[in-house]
Amino acid sequence: MTDFFAQAVSGVRNLAPYQPGKPIAELERELGITDIVKLASNENPHGTPASVKNALAAALDDLTLYPDGSGFQLKQKLASKFAVKPEQLTLGNGSNEILDIIARVFLQPGDNAVVSQHTFIVYPIAVQAVGAELKVAPAKNFGHDLDAMAKLIDTNTKLVFIANPNNPTGTWLTGDELRGFMQQVPAHVLVVVDEAYNEFVERDGFISALALLNDFPNIIVSRTFSKAYGLAGLRVGYSISNTQVADLLNRLREPFNVNSLALLAAEVVLDDAEYLAKSQANNAAGMAQLEAGFAQLGLPFIPSASNCICVDFGKPAGPIYDALLKEGVIVRPIGVYEMPTWLRVSIGLPHENQRLLDALAKVLAA
Ligand SMILES: *Cc1c(COP(=O)(O)O)cnc(C)c1O
């Protein structure tokens, strides 16, 4: 057979495959155990919002019809929530698709994009797939070093990706830091501020980059319904940008990229203030619970503003990850993020967090 590996574009050959969190059903099959706790994919631990379940049940009769490819209703809602024009919005099959569309619209071979070390793996995938170069700035305290990133920008730079808060580390940038960075960035370089965890942040000085969009029209903000709104399985996210950028993104977007159930669910959950408040309150309490538990176990962790936290074992974390699986607890190894001694833990319900802490105590004592 032909070596098809050699046929692939070089950027794709050099990619490490995305490794998702281990699904519960897979661990059940492998170890024959039940009662598994998954704290591996930054999913919402509260289950499908009841408001969404009811709405979707009523919508099941219309699956013969194509979705509204313009996403009119959802865009109306988002536009009024954020006081922007519907023409500034682009809807995606998850915000992952938005990131991918941005790379395909603005990058080609010869161009580059700047990211930070220890940041979301989807950026390299999107950038390298289109044959562009990825420039990685060293992190500072596991977070974005914006000065180091600004220094990497050259005449071929078209895009910068910033996750705020960052995944996997949960580090965050203040509004002042973001503004200071934007003042250094040439006006033609687009800065994607990925705010997947925005709804969880409770930190002084934190702002959404939306507040900077008027001063810096080269900002694209991306958001998702996958985390605080609990709709990861339906795949719906969006970006807010200037209208010209949104027009370009929408030209490349598949006509029916967001399915009808996802559109409806997103509209409904935007009105479900109770679900969001519950998610936020549980997250704050769970973060405190895990921080206290890690401290008690003598494990260093990175203060996190998102819905996950990274904990350090000071030695390769693979065996600890495996031992936790045997205890029925799935977390996330992050060697692919150049953090091989760390594990990333998503905030769960109080009893799930406790299961993790108890399992860790047992595994570390063994
Ligand atoms: C989870 C996550 C997303 C959201 O992905 P979806 O495709 O919307 O589910 C985007 N960016 C970061 C940094 C994330 O961690």
Tens of pLDDT, residues 70-86: 999 999 999 999 999 99
Q: Is 165 in the pocket of ligand 1 (CB under 6 A)?
A: no
Question: Residue 91 above 90 pLDDT?
Answer: yes
pLDDT at residue 17 is higher than 90 = no
Q: Is 120 in the pocket of ligand 1 (CB under 6 A)?
A: yes
> Could you give the C-alpha distances from 220 to 41, 79, 212, in angstroms and in order?
24, 15, 10
**15 pLDDT more than 90:** no
Token representation of residue 61:
């009769």
Using CA positions, which residue lies closest to atom 11 of ligand 1?
196
Res 11 pLDDT > 90? no
pLDDT in the model for residue 16: 78
- Residue range 227-244: mean pLDDT, rounded: 98
Q: What is the side-by-side strand order in the sheet with 190-194?
A: 89-92, 237-240, 219-224, 190-194, 157-163, 112-116, 133-137
Q: Which of 224, 231, 304 to mutate to test the pocket of ligand 1 (most atoms within 8 A of CB)?
A: 224
CA of residue 1 to ligand 1 center, whole Å: 37
Given a cut of 90, is residue 13 above it in pLDDT?
no
Kindly give the number of the ligand 1 atom that is closest to the alpha carbon of 236.
Answer: 8
Report how far ligand 1's centroid is from the alpha carbon of 294 (Å). 26
pLDDT in tens, 129-180: 999 999 999 999 999 999 999 999 999 999 999 999 999 999 999 999 999 9
Average pLDDT for 9-35 = 89
CA of 298 to the centre of ligand 1 (A): 30
Structure tokens at 300: 């260093």
Q: How confident is the model at residue 19 (pLDDT cuts 50, 70, 90)?
A: confident
- The predicted model scores a pTM of 0.96
User: Is residue 207 in contact with ligand 1, taking CB distance under 6 Å?
Assistant: no
The CA-to-CA distance between both ends of the chain, in Å, stands at 48
Residue 286 and residue 323 in contact, taking contact as beta carbons nearer than 8 Å: no
Write down the residue that tokens 């580059």 correspond to. Answer: 112
pLDDT range class, residue 18, cuts 50, 70, 90: confident
Cross-sheet strand order for the sheet of 342-346: 308-312, 342-346, 332-333
Q: Whose CA is nearest to atom 1 of ligand 1?
A: 196
Q: Pairing state of beta strands 342-346 and 89-92? A: unpaired
Mutate to test the pocket of ligand 1, among 44, 91, 120 (most ligand atoms within 8 A of CB): 120
> What is the rounded average pLDDT of the residues 40-59?
95
Q: Which residue has the tokens 């569309």?
A: 101
pLDDT at residue number 289: 98
- Residue 264 reports pLDDT greater than 90: yes
Mean pLDDT of the chain: 97
pLDDT at 12 over 90: no
* Residue of 90, 96, 166 to mutate, ligand 1, most atoms within 8 A of C-beta: 96
125 lines ligand 1 (CB under 6 A): no
Is pLDDT at 32 greater than 90 in this prediction?
Answer: yes
User: Nearest C-alpha to atom 6 of ligand 1 is from which residue?
Assistant: 94
Strand partners of residue 222: 194, 239
DSSP symbol at 45: T
